[in-house]
Amino acid sequence: MKKILCVDDEPINLMIIEVNLMAEGYEVYKAEDGTAALQMFKEIKPQLVLLDIMMPGISGIDTLKELKKIDPDVPVIMVSGVTDEETAKCALEYGAYDYVTKPIDFDYLNTTILIKLL
């Protein structure tokens, strides 16, 4: 079973994402901030990360940079509540695989994950 690490500081968002991804057959792990995400990433070695951009403490972009130092090949899909072309561009420049906005279009997200994890 493919492991996905979901990182968001809003518990309700994590729950919604978890329910959706579990229904698709993924093993889901959750972290509420960048620090916890980095620690969990090292422990579980997920095949993909869903990473919120706006979080207290370590931002999503800074967490992305650290994740890519640990594993440059891990696909990271950035998630944001705002549509900001500069932030999206920055995330992609730092190695994000994709960028999705909230509310999440789960049909799009599921297809994107499926294609990447084939």
Per the structure, the count of domains in the chain is: 1
Q: What is the pLDDT of residue 83?
A: 78
In a 3-state reduction of DSSP, which class is residue 43? helix
Beta strands in the chain (DSSP E): 3-7, 27-31, 48-52, 76-80, 98-101
Q: Domain range spanning residue 88? A: 3-117
pTM of the model: 0.96
CATH number of 7's domain: 3.40.50.2300
* Per-residue tens of pLDDT for the chain, all 118 residues: 999 999 999 999 999 999 999 999 999 999 999 999 999 999 999 999 999 999 999 999 999 999 999 999 999 999 998 778 888 899 999 999 999 999 999 999 999 999 999 8
Amino acid symbol at 78 = M
Helix, strand, coil percent content, the chain, rounded in steps of 5: 45, 20, 30
